[in-house]
Amino acid sequence: MAIAGATGYAGQELVRLLARHPEVDLVAAMASSASTGRDLPALRHLWRGTIEPLDVARLTSGLDAVFLALPEDASAELAPTVAESGARVFDLSGAFRLAHDEARGRWYPKTGTLPDGVVYGAPERLNGGLETARIVSCPGCYPTAASLALAPLVRAGLVAGDIVIDAKSGVSGAGKKPTERTHFSECHGNLSAYGVFSHRHAAEIEQEVGCAVTFVPHLVPIDRGILETMYLRVTPGTTDERIAGVYEDAYARAPFVRVTGGELPTIKQVAHTNFCDIGWKLDAGTNRLVIVSAIDNLLKGAAGQAVQLFNLAFGFDERAGLWG
């Protein structure tokens, strides 16, 4: 098993999780080809290896599984080659997430045609295919929090009107390279909306939820975590008990979804875990529903979910390497 992109925010979480996974032998962890060999100070005593520059020959040398935590253009190019070598690829980028050609062409133009054997891997909504998938496309961070909260209600026919998603993310969601927007002195003490009607995660959320949404992401001055507040109308007569029942049916066997009812989740209660917590408040008189969903963007939104998918794909305990 190997990781490419191991020096990134998501990649370092992968190293941390996979180094102590009971079923994994992590043989290589790579940065970009421009990098020189080095260790990761935060992972000393947790992992004994050394970070290597990208080595495609090694990634295609008969490994069972390869995790890609790369920019999407690099994934779009590398994933099919690695998959052809026989390794099962777990791709954390958005390169293979969108099934419709038009949407993918707009948001992920490097990907072109989807290669054979791609499966979008939302662990809680899988409809078969993971066991034989060659490339498992791991869901995005904002889409994970949104679709876990919304998809069961939409499927149950409880949603009666427009859905507005007010989403907030910590700065690690943008990767390790600071930009003018994510630089410490810009985001410290600040709060800003961005990507209104132009964020590619809206397309992924709509694909997974099955209806249009108004999605407004915000950058908040914390290092990690996502909290999404969703506003919608439900069909007249919907009760708290009905909503609780729908979530109960959807997540009775989902070890990483915690339905908290009227106790609204916070980022601190999911940070550094692979949980998604979902709570809500219903105003039954006006059929207005507010749902709050929280995840750690680097775990349930990235590395943790990828390891969960790896466990499911290889027939291991879904919680292996993630519990506790």
Q: Which residues form the interface with ligand NAP (CB under 6 A)?
A: 4-11, 31-32, 34-35, 54, 69-72, 74, 92-94, 140-141, 172-173, 175-177, 297-298, 301-302
Please say which residue, 72 or 206, places its beta carbon nearer to ligand NAP.
72
Please say which residue, 246 or 276, places its beta carbon nearer to ligand NAP.
276
Please say which residue, 112 or 157, places its beta carbon nearer to ligand NAP.
112
In the complex, least distance from residue 14 CB atom to ligand NAP, rounded to whole angstroms: 9
Q: Which of 77, 144, 169, 79 is nearest to 302 (CA)?
A: 144
Choosing from 141, 187, 211, 276, which is the catalytic residue? 141
How far is the C-alpha of 100 from the C-alpha of 203, rounded, in Å?
10
Helix (H, G, I), strand (E, B) or coil at 30: strand
How far is the C-alpha of 2 from the C-alpha of 55, rounded, in Å?
11
In the complex, least distance from residue 272 CB atom to ligand NAP, rounded to whole angstroms: 13
Q: What share of the chain is helix, strand, coil (3-state, %, to 5)?
A: 30, 20, 50
User: Closest-CB residue for ligand NAP?
Assistant: 8
How far is the C-alpha of 63 from the C-alpha of 49, rounded, in Å?
17
In the complex, least distance from residue 21 CB atom to ligand NAP, rounded to whole angstroms: 19
Rounded to whole angstroms, what are the CA distances from 256 to 40, 76, 124, 242, 322? 28, 29, 9, 22, 10
Written as six digits, the tokens of 175 are 């990767």
**Beta carbons of 35 and 51 less than 8 angstroms apart:** yes
Written as six digits, the tokens of 83 are 């998959």
Other C-beta atoms within 10 Å of 290: how many? 16
In the complex, least distance from residue 281 CB atom to ligand NAP, rounded to whole angstroms: 28
Active site includes 276? Answer: no
* 184 Cβ contact partners less than 8 Å away, ≥ 6 residues apart: 178
Please say which residue, 72 or 277, places its beta carbon nearer to ligand NAP.
72
Compute the residue count for the chain.
324
Please say which residue, 3 or 243, places its beta carbon nearer to ligand NAP.
3
In the complex, least distance from residue 78 CB atom to ligand NAP, rounded to whole angstroms: 7
In the complex, least distance from residue 167 CB atom to ligand NAP, rounded to whole angstroms: 13
Please say which residue, 4 or 146, places its beta carbon nearer to ligand NAP.
4
Side-chain-side CA neighbours of 174 within 13 Å: the count stands at: 23
How far is the C-alpha of 123 from the C-alpha of 274, rounded, in Å?
12
CA 307 to chain CA centroid, Å, is 11
In the DSSP assignment, the letter for residue 115 is P
Which residues participate in catalysis according to the annotation?
141
